[in-house]
Structure 1
């Protein structure tokens, strides 16, 4: 039997970083749907919090949108997925799983950036400089993604015509081109992997 007069223990509150993370995760699909027209009121309702809570961890809507852009571009989730792909599978199966993960990442990225551009907020591109930390992080992310893909090729290096890192770079080029060309947008991932491995000839 419990004591109804005993003081209730409150659940531990979120840290600032945890709350920012929760808000960004909630905001991402809304930004993908509404672009720059999304409101902080919509995001607050979806997150089940008061709108004022957003402004306790973000200076304004612009800072929140910037955080959403950074998350859409961040390949951490993709790399984590690639690193869990079993090397015991045949190479074609490994690459099919990788292709679907890469396309999922590109799709999420394209949805957010495309929606923002469609609502009048094109990405601001500035020439990279030696002090540009964003360029450094982007280069590091791209290198980490290529390394994770190259690791999938490594068990079959003896059968490859090129070193595994080169095969990984070409494979990623295939995936990137698929999302940008209407001629390949409807090609199934399995067919694209087969084309990559065996060429265009029947």
Structure 2
């Protein structure tokens, strides 16, 4: 019987002892795909059953459903193992174009996943916003609101990863690696927005061609 199975009397087996950070990662690893499949109405009982733990175990790691859903949104947009997974993917790509295609595929997949989870968590995101949890001080010293800090951090991390992609190929570029990273990110983010009616979408290969070769004919 697997760790996720129920015992014969229908009681969820006691979870093995884990450090809080490990337990948090284990819960989120189950929760993110569950949200994609079921949406934001998934209950903590269902989450516990899928994770093979008691429902109370969730609340020893997350104080309430809102913090649980916000953690899932953060994991979706910027997974804890994101840098290691990105490095592993890049290690299997040969040459600048191949790396751009692989990075684009990964970011597009992550965008689709993130959209699903963010939509499911939207009521909790709005509650956090209304409670002033996303408030910070603006340049003028006055209170300012913006995206949750984890969204800002995700963009910073993505920019750093894409800049790192271009850095070994600096001699092939007409711009700084950081500028190339912004250009690639802009193409990716604008490539597939069906919720805005922007179809057809650009493929990873088309994005790589546009980024590296532009839109003008070579004989122009």
Match of 2:136 in 1: 128
Specify which of 174, 187, 198 is matched with residue 202 of structure 2: 187
Any unmatched runs of 5+ in structure 1? 1-10
Any unmatched runs of 5+ in structure 2? 1-14
Distance 1:179 1:76, change over 3 A: farther
Counterpart of 1:128 in 2: which secondary structure?
strand
Q: Does 1:145 align with 2:158?
A: yes
Counterpart of 1:36 in 2: which secondary structure?
coil
State the superposition RMSD in angstroms: 3.0
1:50-101 deviations in Å (ceiling 9; x for gaps): 2222233322222211221222232543332333313972210011111112
Counterpart contact for 1:32–1:111, Cα < 8 Å: yes
Distance 2:82 2:173 in 1: 24
Counterpart of 1:29 in 2: which secondary structure?
helix
Specify which of 35, 39, 45 is matched with residue 31 of structure 1: 35
Match of 1:92 in 2: 97
Distance 1:59 1:122 in 2: 16
1:139-187 deviations in Å (ceiling 9; x for gaps): 5543332222122222332332211110111111111112325445633
Match of 1:157 in 2: 170
Distance 1:75 1:173, change over 3 A: farther
Post-superposition shift, 1:198? 1.4
Q: Which has the higher contact order (CA 8 A, sep 6+)?
A: 1
Length, aligned pairs only: 189
Distance 2:201 2:93 in 1: 29
Distance 2:98 2:19 in 1: 41
Distance 1:105 1:30 in 2: 16
Distance 1:141 1:112, change over 3 A: closer
Mapping for residues 8-19 of structure 1, pairs under 5 Å:
13-19=17-23
Q: Does 1:102 align with 2:107?
A: yes
Query: Which has the higher mean CA deviation after the structures are superposed, 98-107 or 67-76?
Result: 67-76
Q: Does 1:80 align with 2:84?
A: yes
Match of 2:74 in 1: 70
Counterpart contact for 1:72–1:109, Cα < 8 Å: yes
Counterpart of 1:161 in 2: which secondary structure?
coil
Task: Give TM-score, length-normalised by structure 1.
Answer: 0.77
Task: Give TM-score, length-normalised by structure 2.
Answer: 0.71
Distance 1:185 1:104, change over 3 A: farther
Q: As a proportion of its length, which structure holds more helix?
A: 1
Q: Does 1:45 align with 2:58?
A: no
